[in-house]
Amino acid sequence: MPAVYIKNKRSIASILKIALIPVINGFAKYAWRSIPRSAYLGASPIRLNLAITRKCNANCVFCAYQFARKEDTVHMSDAIFKLALQRMRHARIRQVMMSPNIGEPLMAPMFMDKLSQLRAIGVDQIEVTTNGLLLHRTDARKFLLNGPDKINLSFAGFDQAMYERDYRVRHFERTRDSILKLLRENRLLGNKREINIRLRGDLPVDVLLAAPEMEEVMQLAHSVEVMTEVDDWLGLITKDILPEGYILQKEAPELTLRPCMLLWDLTVHPDGDIHLCACRNVYGDPRLHIGNIKEMDLVEAHGKIGDILDEWESGNVPTTCKTCSMYCDPANGLIGRRREIRQDAALKS
């Protein structure tokens, strides 16, 4: 979804590299067919998107969760989670993102215990996106010491009426306090975790940023990003169901014959099904389905990604992707991905 970064910490070296990126991306687009798959897929999975739950305790007006089928809004069972751990250990996966598509990860039973189990098998980079509604249940210091490495907080903004209108839940004050407490505690711990604030409210950007709490948030958060347009979630979200202040995304990126880079990583759903795309593939498009962890390990599943990319490159784009406005040109992600693959290989050697 279109968004604007208000704050994003970057090193000088990375800023210098950014200047070269358009040139390299342009070349990658031109030469895409000659770039070997191994350059962006690597030899085995480097990251797994793990949907430990598809339940959510909010009901955001801009999210497809409100249309989710009851049978899809479930927690991952202990048996599937245990099997996923075995598969991850075998594939030596070090990076896990725990909130693909829809769902509030902190609602998953024994969330912190699940994190410990992931760490125990060698996962050392855990990312979650949370609405923060349950943060009050865990001591902020403990959450930071033992919790995820990267915490993306999805929050409407510091305005109670807007929060209730957009997220359609109560507990604004409690959630606000939890977010501020987490940021302050993280500073006391020397910024142990990366905390990114994602403002998703319907008020204009300047109004969202003018809230009194934002001065402190700007100082303490690793990054602050504000959504400026709402994606239509494959046509599910329409202007008539959105509060007036939201702007529906006007233009979608043009699809090319370069398969979307969201297809580079596997996603395991609560039933063990392995799909591609942790973003908009909420209904399990059969064309993006690879198998199930009950019958296939993750290295084998990773080896099948190329078949789906082949189909796309031959012009047979998956149905879900045809109507998706979140397409990410892989040429634009090639440099970062190469770096990730190299770092992953070095740490595993």
Per CB under 6 A, residues contacting ligand SF4 are 56, 58-60, 63, 65, 102-104, 131, 154, 260, 262-263, 277, 279-281, 320-321, 324, 326-327
**What CA–CA distance (Å, rounded) separates 257 from 269?**
27
Shortest distance, position 303 Cβ to ligand SF4, whole Å:
19
- Nearest-Å Rg of the Cα atoms of the chain is 20
DSSP 9-43: ---HHHHHHHHHHHHHHHHHHHTGGGS-THHHH-S
Shortest distance, position 17 Cβ to ligand SF4, whole Å:
25
Q: Using an 8 Å Cβ cutoff, are 128 and 144 in contact?
A: no
Residue nearer to ligand SF4 on the CB measure, 320 or 332: 320
Shortest distance, position 190 Cβ to ligand SF4, whole Å:
29
Residue nearer to ligand SF4 on the CB measure, 26 or 253: 253
Which are the contacts of 139, defined by CB distance < 8 A and separation ≥ 6? none
- Burial code (b: 16+ CB inside 10 Å, e: under 16) for 10-29 equals eeeeeeeeeeeeeeebeebe
Shortest distance, position 189 Cβ to ligand SF4, whole Å:
26
Residue nearer to ligand SF4 on the CB measure, 52 or 60: 60
Shortest distance, position 133 Cβ to ligand SF4, whole Å:
8
Length of the chain: 349
Any idea what the Cα angle at residue 104 is, between residues 99 and 105, rounded to 5°?
60
Burial of 65 (0-12, 13-18, 19+ CB in 10 A): buried
Shortest distance, position 348 Cβ to ligand SF4, whole Å:
27
What tokens were used for 1? 């979804």
Q: Using an 8 Å Cβ cutoff, are 122 and 89 in contact?
A: yes
- Residue where the block lists tokens 């991850």: 88
**Pairing, β 150-155 against β 125-130:** parallel
Residue nearer to ligand SF4 on the CB measure, 95 or 320: 320
Shortest distance, position 212 Cβ to ligand SF4, whole Å:
24
Q: Residue 103: left (phi > 0), alpha (psi -120 to 50), or beta?
A: left
Shortest distance, position 260 Cβ to ligand SF4, whole Å:
3
Instruction: Give the three-state DSSP class for 61.
Output: coil
What tokens were used for 25? 């991306």
**What CA–CA distance (Å, rounded) separates 56 from 52?**
12
Across the strands, what pairs with 289?
A: 275
